[in-house]
């Protein structure tokens, strides 16, 4: 099929590329000319495993092209996908300015029947608005469909080519049939529903996953006080099929471009119809507090942070991405600087994106090497669970630090790994290992 994807952010670019990979003729459109020029040269503006290779392959096969010419790309397509951003307004509501503008642009470009699919995450009722906008501006027939996107950053290509499910929200049998056909090579789990339910499925799914994370983080906080180990508790809970084992990893909370934005938006969507979403409000509050556990643990081990040097490992909101949006590291580093500490920070790939937030802060030293970031530090805080950190030689790490204090915000290390070191080790929701005694060594078993 001939497909046009408008917006070359994570969703638009990855979806477009993956649909070209399964044999469709795809055009990716963006009004950002510089970005289009980069993409034409095979220079990919985001870090996503496997994406660059697929772009090179499908561009040279002639299945994939990039342009800023929206009109001809809409005219050439059977199906047009809206994939532009819906950032949060200060109220928490999604900003629909870009989606509505693109709907107008599509309407003015149309020269015959089109299927218009919204992939951007939009509040319930937005597709009805899009239908109205397009209907007012074009005499041509069209159908509106909502297909929410569930890809995760860092595994976006894999998720798009192997989705758990595809949700098709539409009132049109013709559009449902075409989109079922299009997605068939990817999965058999295709659900057709009405537009508003499809829009809600996206918010409800992300809110539920965020709830799981805040739930396990609160359990972790209680575990610390009662002497239980949250990793064992989560494992034990996960054996129950009704609960499931995923998204029960305790840590310093979620970040990223989706969960924070979508949870706020759903609270607002509920508020707009006079419903107070109490549970989700608490989920957000717990998540906001959780990152400050790191500061509390630092204060516990070092007291006043004035004049102390703190190493930070991990700036991205999660591993395998250079995305730092809503990353816990942002709040943690700001607080450390406010408390008078000097910060040395390292991330395998996200430093460039991160340091824009700290342009004037000469006090942050950006390292290009993990060990260098830890050198002469009074304490080291691990904020992102990059694989690289898991393989580090802990004895060597301890030897370069001023004080061997390790605050593990993602529970990366096992007690066995710590057993032969002199680290004062703090993690999230696990029994304290301030300095390992011979007795502790003999019982350390996970
Ligand atoms: C998420 C959804 O998973 C995806 O379906 C949706 O389309 C977009 O939002 P993403 O933001 O890429 O994807 O990241 P994800 O891998 O889901 O992780 C989100 C955050 O939760 C990360 O900060 C991660 O560190 C944190 N997390 C995840 C936990 O703290 N514990 C867990 O058990 C799982």
Q: Tell me, letter by letter, the H, E, C secondary structure of 58-98.
A: HHHHCCEEEECCHHHHHHHCCEEEECCCCCECCCCCECCHH
Q: CA triplet 93, 97, 100: central angle to 5 degrees?
A: 115
Look up tokens 């496997």; give the residue.
50
Give the pLDDT score at 118: 98
Task: Please indicate whether residue 359 or residue 41 has the higher confidence score (pLDDT).
Answer: 41
The token pair at 44 is: 């990919």
pLDDT digits (tens, 9 = 90+) for 399-415: 999 999 999 999 999 97
271 pLDDT above the threshold of 80: yes
With cut-offs at 50, 70 and 90, classify the pLDDT of residue 170: very high
φ, ψ (nearest 5 deg) of residue 245: -90, -10
Ligand 1 pocket mutation, candidates 167, 254, 387, criterion most atoms within 8 A of CB:
254
**Res. 233: pLDDT tops 60:** yes
Question: Which residue, by CA, sits nearest to atom 14 of ligand 1?
Answer: 152
Residue 46 binned pLDDT confidence (cut-offs 50, 70, 90): confident
pLDDT score, position 92: 79
Tokens 């559009």, located at residue: 175
Q: Is the pLDDT of residue 436 over 50?
A: no
What pLDDT, in 10s, does the model give residues 273-299?
A: 999 999 999 999 999 999 999 999 999
What is the pairing mode between strands 142-146 and 166-170? antiparallel
- What's the mean pLDDT in 107-119? 98
Cα 46 to averaged position of ligand 1 atoms, centre (Å): 17
The tokens 């937005």 sit on which residue? 126
- Looking at residue 445, its pLDDT comes to 41
Catalytic residue annotation: 258
Please determine, for residue 154, whether its predicted confidence score (pLDDT) is greater than 70. Answer: yes
Q: What is the mean pLDDT of residues 137-156?
A: 96
Ligand 1 pocket check for 385: Cβ under 6 Å: no
203-228 pLDDT, tens digit each: 999 999 999 999 999 999 999 999 99
pLDDT, position 147: 98
**Ligand 1 within 6 A of CB of 251:** yes
pLDDT of residue 362: 67
- Average pLDDT on 162-180 reads 98
pLDDT on residue 438: 41
Please say if the pLDDT value at position 38 is more than 70. Answer: yes
- Beta-bridge partner residues of 424: 405
Residues 6 or more apart whose Cβ sits within 8 Å of residue 22:
161, 185, 186
Any ligand 1 atom below 6 A from CB of 249: yes
**Pair 282, 348: CB distance under 8 Å:** no
Pocket-testing residue among 256, 320, 324, ligand 1, by greatest number of atoms within 8 A of Cβ: 256
Q: Which residue has the higher pLDDT, 420 or 446?
A: 420
Q: Which residue has the tokens 């819906």?
A: 86
Confidence of residue 361 (pLDDT cuts 50, 70, 90): low
pLDDT at 435: 42
Q: Residue 433: what pLDDT?
A: 61
Q: Which residues lie below 8 Å from residue 403, measured CB to CB, with a gap of 6+?
A: 302, 377, 378, 379, 424
Domains of the chain: 2-193 (3.40.50.720), 202-289 (1.10.1040.10), 291-445 (3.40.50.720)
């Amino acid at each position: 099929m001939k497909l046009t994807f408008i917006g070359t952010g994570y969703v638009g670019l990855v979806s477009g590329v993956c649909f070209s990979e399964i044999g469709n003729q795809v055009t990716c459109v963006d009004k950002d000319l510089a970005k289009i020029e980069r993409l034409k040269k095979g220079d990919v503006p985001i870090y996503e495993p496997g994406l660059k290779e697929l772009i090179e392959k499908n561009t040279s096969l002639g299945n994939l092209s990039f342009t800023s010419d929206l009109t001809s790309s809409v005219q050439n397509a059977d199906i047009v996908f809206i994939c532009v951003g819906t950032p949060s307004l200060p109220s928490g509501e999604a900003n629909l300015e870009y989606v509505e503008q693109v709907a107008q642009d599509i309407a003015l470009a149309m020269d015959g029947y089109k299927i218009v699919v919204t992939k951007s995450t939009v509040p319930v009722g937005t597709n009805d608005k899009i239908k109205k906008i397009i209907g007012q501006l074009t005499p041509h027939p069209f159908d509106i469909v909502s297909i929410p996107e569930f890809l995760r950053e860092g595994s976006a290509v894999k998720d798009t080519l192997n989705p758990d499910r595809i949700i098709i929200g539409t009132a049109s049998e013709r559009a449902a049939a075409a989109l079922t056909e299009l997605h068939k090579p990817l999965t058999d789990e295709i659900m057709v529903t009405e537009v508003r339910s499809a829009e809600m499925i996206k918010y409800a799914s992300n809110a539920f996953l965020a709830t799981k994370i805040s739930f396990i983080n609160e359990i972790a906080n209680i575990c610390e006080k009662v002497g239980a180990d949250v990793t064992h508790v989560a494992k034990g809970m996960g054996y129950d099929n009704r609960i499931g084992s995923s998204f029960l990893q305790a840590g310093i909370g979620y970040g990223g471009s989706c969960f924070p934005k979508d949870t706020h938006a759903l609270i607002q969507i509920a508020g707009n119809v006079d419903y107070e979403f109490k549970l989700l409000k608490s989920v957000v509050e717990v998540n906001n507090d959780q990152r400050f556990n790191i500061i509390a643990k630092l204060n516990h081990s070092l007291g006043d942070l004035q004049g102390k040097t703190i190493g930070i490992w991990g700036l991205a909101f999660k591993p395998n991405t250079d995305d730092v949006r809503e990353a816990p590291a942002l709040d943690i580093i700001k607080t450390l600087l406010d408390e008078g500490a000097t910060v040395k920070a390292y991330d395998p790939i996200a430093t460039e994106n991160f340091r824009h937030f700290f342009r004037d802060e000469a006090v942050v030293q950006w390292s290009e090497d993990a060990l260098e970031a830890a050198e002469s530090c009074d304490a080291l805080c691990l904020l992102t669970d990059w694989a690289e950190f898991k393989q580090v030689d802990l004895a060597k790490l301890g030897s370069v630090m001023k004080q061997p204090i390790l605050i593990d915000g993602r529970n990366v290390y096992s007690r066995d790994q710590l057993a032969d070191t002199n680290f004062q080790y703090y993690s999230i929701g696990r029994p304290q290992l301030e300095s390992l005694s011979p007795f502790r060594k003999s019982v350390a078993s996970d």
